[in-house]
Chain A
């Protein structure tokens, strides 16, 4: 396997930073331009043009079937795995069109990690859940792997809960712990972007709170896009919110604006529960 450079990677501890004015916070990392997606004859996304800002949390909200998960899957080309999908328009990450011929989807998915609604730890030990991906990406030394595993688990706020049972099955963890393990697994290979498709919808309120706290910590180092049906969750943790309806982007603005004074009546009606 080609050396991807991960073997030489030094892991850094992600520590909460003091709030500082960071000029990169306004940089657009993901940019879509007139993005259309069809599942066969059915159009799921209609001319979506939006930009996701770097190291911020962007929430995608809207009623079921509005296209938000479809859009999320466009950012790491997971839709490639679905038959009869047709895409026009562009998705650029860091200025590069991710559908261009010289972009490898597997390499893309190293940069753009994903966490799903239902946690899906591997049927392996907790340690192996994280070490497996790192080994695949070229990390070989045990000491280095152990350090990287510990760091990922610390960054996912899970280390203290599992440090004494790293070599037990991940399937023995609670639902909330499994989801945080999946997040740890996603961040272990240091992606730029983390996509989360309703990551807390299957969790109890306490576990949800922990996942949300984790997201707020992670956004200092990662760009996060989250699909959620829970508007209060979007209001709690996101910086920007995009409202979708029937495949169209209806309104996209700061979360504060969307949830206190939306510009469009449709948005107002949705967030106040008049429909959806």
Chain B
């Protein structure tokens, strides 16, 4: 392929890296807007979601132009993976926005004192996303593979949280609105875990050419 093609490919990679950084920041801020009850941070996350939306469109446009040139082998995999990862990152941004919106509502009311361990779940979700993106940046499929089984842990935590919050609000009807907001945040964190898993699977495909999606042996059990 030509020098021009290489330059366009570099442009694609750079855009994806910047988008990844933005997505990670969005999730981190959204979680802090909830744990620190920071309305300004929550509003900032909502506002910045359009940046991720624009990145997705730009990356798709560059990728389609590159695909029109009929690339092959690793370049073909990179371009198709870039489109998929950008879609996952855009969805991560949407989940961060959802968390921020719920945080803004929760911050208007007294803090709910429950046993539910949402901060722990948030830590796990953010760590999965960070590590998936590091695996992509550092071209480390082994690290990507290691992330995938952890998705089960977040799924379990979400289910547990949903049950606990459901029981809590049945016993205390005055807390229904707050519980529902927390359940939504829990669901969003679980979805962020799913997107981090998707990104990890794409990193493996990019560097090893192996499609490991939906493989129960790889998803395994959470440690």
Co-assembled chains A and B? yes
Instruction: Kindly provide the distance from the CB of A271 to the nearest chain B CB, expressed in whole angstroms.
Output: 4
A271/B209 contact (C-beta < 8 A), A260-B77, A261-B77 known: no
Residues of chain A with a CB closer than 8 A to B218's CB: none
Chain A CB within 10 Å, residue with most, of B5, B71, B77: B71
- Contacts known (A260-B209, A261-B209); A268 close to B74, Cβ less than 8 A: yes
B2 contacts A259, C-beta separation under 8 Å: no
Bound CA–CA A272/B66 (angstroms): 13
Q: Which residues of chain B come closer than 8 Å to A261, judged between CB atoms?
A: 73-74, 77, 208-209
- B169 contacts the other chain (CB 8 A): no
CB neighbors of A among B50-84 (8 A): 70-77
Name the residue of chain A whose CB is nearest to the CB of B209. A261
Q: A235 CA to B72 CA in the complex, in Å?
A: 9
Distance between A6 CB and nearest chain B CB, rounded to angstroms: 43
Chain B: interface residue total (CB-CB under 8 A): 13
Contact of A259 (CB < 8 Å), options: B1, B5, B72, B208: B72
Number of interface residues of A (CB under 8 A): 13
Prevailing SS type, chain A contact patch: helix
CB B126 to nearest CB in A, in angstroms, measures 32
Q: A273: CB under 8 A from chain B?
A: yes
Contact yes or no, B2 A272, CB < 8 A: no
Q: A residues 38-60 with Cβ under 8 Å of B?
A: none
B77 and A272 form a contact (CB under 8 A): no
Q: Is A262 an interface residue (CB 8 A)?
A: yes
A85 to B70, CA, bound (A): 38
Measured CB to CB, the residues of B under 8 A from A are 1-2, 5, 70-77, 208-209
In the complex, given contacts A259-B76, A272-B75, what are 10 additional A-B residue pairs having Cβ atoms less than 8 angstroms apart? A235-B72, A259-B72, A260-B76, A261-B208, A268-B74, A271-B73, A272-B1, A272-B71, A272-B73, A273-B1
